[in-house]
Amino acid sequence: AAYISSVTRKEGHSALIFSRQNLDQNNDVDFMARREGALKGGYVAKKETADLDLIILATGSEVQHALKAAADMPGARVVSMPCMEAFERQSDEYKEEVLPSSVTKRVAMEA
């Protein structure tokens, strides 16, 4: 998704930043859903299994740590946010779907 975004973007700069770490693959979300969500700047990487009471936002290699942290929290949602600027350009409906305004407990993980 980052590569597609970098070559199709007509204005501004693009940066592709890679990690040398061994990263866990999140296969809980379908590949195409991850790709489309990444192109939108953010998507739900782990949906809550109980009443939503916490959102953990993470970028890049920190997503795996957010997923591990949320594993024992049924009310936690993990949102992968590779590009805040792209996410802000999405419809209000999409942003509300990913980050409901009713949930005020939020934690961000970024390295």
Q: Is 60 left (phi over 0), alpha (psi -120 to 50) or beta?
A: left
Rg of the chain, C-alpha, whole Å: 14
Tell me: the pLDDT tens digits for 22-78?
777 777 888 899 899 999 999 999 999 999 999 999 998 999 999 999 999 999 999
Q: What is the pTM of this model?
A: 0.85
Dist CA 77 CA 6 (whole Å): 28
* Closest of 20, 25, 18 to residue 67, by C-alpha: 25
Residue 54 vs residues 18, 44, 79: alpha-carbon distances, Å: 28, 13, 11
CATH of domain 2-19+26-109: 3.40.50.920
Where are the domains positioned within the chain?
2-19+26-109
